[in-house]
């Protein structure tokens, strides 16, 4: 493996850890969706890496579509305003929708998305999130069916997660040094 990126304080999850998490999530999803052919809705941009890995670990027939929302801008705190930047191309009425998200922080982004997708009358909507940040004051109604890992309340990057669009390409998940964003 390459050396640690100089802006990263420490690695939370290395490539091998990530692979194991993905294998487990793939098994869980495949078991629950036998005979159902889910539509995986990747929440861009952060979830694109996770979605690509998760799909390849799913053994039931499935398809994918993409939605882009923005809640953070270029900052490290949720702005509280969720904006649709790109909508789905697929009609989801009657479909089993599985939202793939990179990280659940306040839950604001997901609660907005779930409401939006529910209004289109899918057969079901569930959430697979690679990470859940352990914080106080989450939107309580969000209960992801598939959770990869719990991470501490720090700003993390890598494996699709960015700070100001950087670090998505890191193959591991690490804590960003605070001096990078302060």
Neighbours of 93 (CB within 10 A): 9
CB of residue 46 to Mg ion, shortest distance in Å:
4
Applying CB under 6 A, among 58, 67, 104, 170 the residue interacting with ligand IMP is: 104
Total residues binding ligand IMP (CB under 6 A): 18
Can you give the C-alpha Rg of the chain in angstroms? 16
Choice between 55 and 76, CB closer to ligand IMP:
76
105 carries an active-site annotation? yes
Reference 46, options 21, 80, 72; nearest CA is 72
Cα–Cα distance, 121 to 4 (Å, whole number): 46
Q: Report the length, in residues, of the chain.
A: 182
Contact 127, 112 (CB under 8 A): no
Cα–Cα distance, 48 to 28 (Å, whole number): 20
Contacted by 124, from Mg ion, ligand IMP, none: CB < 5 to 8 Å by type:
none
Choice between 26 and 160, CB closer to ligand IMP:
160
Active-site option among 7, 105, 134, 143 = 105
Residue span 136-165 as binding mask against ligand IMP, x where in contact by CB under 6 A, dash where not: -------------------xxx---x----
Contacted by 159, from Mg ion, ligand IMP, none: CB < 5 to 8 Å by type:
none
Contact 133, 153 (CB under 8 A): yes
Query: Known catalytic residues?
Result: 105
Which residues make up the interface to Mg ion (CB under 5 A)? 46
């Amino acid at each position: 493996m390459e050396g640690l990126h100089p802006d990263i304080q420490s690695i939370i999850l290395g490539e091998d850890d990530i692979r194991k998490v993905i294998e487990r999530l793939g098994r869980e999803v495949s078991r629950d969706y036998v005979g159902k052919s889910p539509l995986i809705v990747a929440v861009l941009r952060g979830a694109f890496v996770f979605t690509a890995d998760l799909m390849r670990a799913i053994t039931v027939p499935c398809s994918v579509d993409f939605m882009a929302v923005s809640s953070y801008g270029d900052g490290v705190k949720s702005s509280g305003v969720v904006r649709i930047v790109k909508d789905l191309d697929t009609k989801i009425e009657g479909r089993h929708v599985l939202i793939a998200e990179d990280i659940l922080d306040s839950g604001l982004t997901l609660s907005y998305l779930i409401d939006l997708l529910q209004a289109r009358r899918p057969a079901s909507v569930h959430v697979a999130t690679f990470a859940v940040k352990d914080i106080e004051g989450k939107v309580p109604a969000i209960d992801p069916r598939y959770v990869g890992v719990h991470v501490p309340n720090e700003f993390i990057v890598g494996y699709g997660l960015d700070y100001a669009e950087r670090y998505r390409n890191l193959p591991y998940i690490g804590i960003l040094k605070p001096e990078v964003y302060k």
